[in-house]
Amino acid sequence: MKRIAIVLVIIFAASYANAQISFGPKIGYNTSKLSVDKSDIKTDLKNSFQFGVFLRLGNKIYVQPELTWLTQGGVFKKPGDEGNLSPFKQEIDLKTVQVPALIGYELIDLKIANIRAFAGPVASFVTNKEIDSNESEGYIKPIQEADLKDILWSAQIGVGADVLMFTLDIRYNIGISKVLGDVEYEGEKLTFDSRASGFNVSLGWKIF
């Protein structure tokens, strides 16, 4: 990650010397799913809104760091009639501050509008963890807050369009680091190997 940071700093510095600068707020809608490396454990998507700010430096090639607040997570569930472990259903909520560092390229310029493609690394800092567990008789709670990581790494790829002062992005987030690894519960081990992935759509307003 240090090498990625150095490359981004160099590109940022080179772009800044003769760059078009845009800045503004953004809002969006995010879908998040935690993958799982077990056939008998299922996961569901979690949807949430997001908001933040972005800074874009560059013209045809640009750098775009952002600061975004959003909730990631998903629902883990295991039915009671499979295997020896008791059934469970737990919903994971991770309040995060997400810091993407994107590099983009303008594909089409129509003067009042343009089409872009972009990609880059993302660091997500978890500020709050919540686990909502099914309290029905016989259900267990194998996942604890201490099992969840505090910093998550991922990558984003996507396309976007600028129309006048508005900017629209559609992205796919690819989880790199584990949100949840091995979990021990009453002598039994569950290997989740879970990573966060999903789509998000956002609309930004370029104040300048």
Separation of CA 205 from chain center: 21
pLDDT per residue as tens digits for the range 49-107: 999 999 999 989 999 999 999 998 888 888 876 556 789 999 999 999 999 999 999 99
Residues whose CB falls within 8 Å of the CB of residue 161, separated by 6 or more in sequence, listed in order: 113, 114, 115, 116, 167, 168
Does position 199 have pLDDT exceeding 90, yes or no?
yes
pLDDT level of residue 20 (50, 70, 90 thresholds): confident
| Structural domains of the chain ordered from first start | 2-205 (2.40.160)
State the DSSP code for 87: P
Burial 92-125 (b: 16+ CB within 10 A, else e): bbbbbebebbbbbebeeeeeeebebebbbbbbbe
